[in-house]
Amino acid sequence: MNVYDLPIRPRRNRRTESIRSIVREHSVSSTDLIQPMFVCEGNQKSEAIVSMPGIFRLSTDLIVKECVALFELGVPGVALFPAISDSKKDKKATESLNDDGLLQTTVRAIKAAVPGITVITDVAMDPYSSDGHDGFVNDQGEIVNDVTLDILANMAISQARAGADMVAPSDMMDGRVGVIREALDDHGFTNVGILSYSAKYASSYYGPFRDALSSAPKSGDKKTYQMDPANVREAIYEVELDIAEGADMVMVKPGLPYLDVLRAVSEISNVPVAVYNVSGEYAMLRAAAEKGWLDYQKAVLEALLSFKRAGADMILTYHAKEAAEWLKSK
């Protein structure tokens, strides 16, 4: 056997597990993860979401139990999404302003049971809207930006009053971060942060989420406010605008098909960058695993690592609890 005179042999740094761990550039820990959760009305209620195996709509009491378990596993935060009955939906998302509504009640219950966990609330009209859009729809079918801003600002105030640590506008209306920041400050909520869905694309990967909340648009689509999947420079522009308006953190959504966008955003952002590993991404891995086509645990952890490698500081993912369990057992 010939032994060649190769002064450079990169494999030396991959020879043993301990060497590989020493030179490893990125890693995932439970503190990187935020668990999105769907809350429904009722008590001791757990409703399976068919398109998201292993994920459930949970009543407030069960959400609280999950938060206790997540926090014990080292997951520092949850993002809440309410499943509102159709009877409470209207064109102006009035139920979103109810201080005794489902979301607000759940926030208070979580903070009473697990004061240290970070509670992030969604600011958008679609869970509460009879039109299923993130903004106000006029009689001509147009999404009216500035009418929506007032609704979003009041929604954020109600969520902050309930005890939310951070509000997360996911609507993609122009100027909403600045309007929400001003409204929060004017009402004394200067310590409530804003995690802005700054680069949210009009993606095909949201289907299971809309199943979970019955929040799909009743007509049209969301392309006049969510971003064109073809664009990267536009994402940078949106991020820079949101930071200038007062965003404490920014987000790229979806995750896996937009790693290039995540990298570009992370390179210019001077605030922490989140990525949302969305419902369709979760469902794909679940479906492939159920078919026996891949090792589910390894594939999930590899996907989460890809977000960190691309520059994410935090990951909203439906895998958060199971990933934290796997990481703890290592």
**Which domains does the chain show, CATH number per domain?**
28-329 (3.20.20.70)
* pLDDT given for residue 151 in this prediction: 95
Q: Which of 88, 89, 222, 253 is catalytic?
A: 253
* pLDDT given for residue 47 in this prediction: 95
pLDDT at 135 over 70: yes
* pLDDT given for residue 215 in this prediction: 65
Region 156-165 average pLDDT:
98
**Percentage of residues of the chain with pLDDT beyond 90:** 87
Task: Work out the pLDDT band at 222, boundaries 50, 70, 90.
Answer: confident
pLDDT at 217 over 80: no
Q: Which of 88, 89, 92, 200 is catalytic?
A: 200
The mean predicted confidence, pLDDT, of the chain is 95
pLDDT at 119 over 70: yes
pLDDT at 172 over 80: yes
Task: Work out the pLDDT band at 212, boundaries 50, 70, 90.
Answer: confident
pLDDT at 220 over 80: no
* pLDDT given for residue 133 in this prediction: 86
Region 195-201 average pLDDT:
97
Region 214-231 average pLDDT:
83
* pLDDT given for residue 230 in this prediction: 98
* pLDDT given for residue 280 in this prediction: 95
291 is a catalytic site residue: no
Question: Counting every residue, how long is the chain?
Answer: 330
CB contact set of 9 (below 8 Å; sequence gap of 6+): none
Of 330 and 273, the structure prediction assigns the larger pLDDT to 273
45 is a catalytic site residue: no
Closest CA to 86 of 221, 213, 219: 213
Q: Mind spelling out the 3-state secondary structure of 258-291?
A: HHHHHHHHHHHCCCCEEEEECHHHHHHHHHHHHC
Distance between CA atoms of residues 39 and 61, nearest Å: 10
Is residue 32 within 8 Å of residue 314, measured between CB atoms?
yes
The letter for the amino acid at 93 is: A
pLDDT at 315 over 90: yes
Three-state DSSP class for residue 190 = coil
Region 39-68 average pLDDT:
96
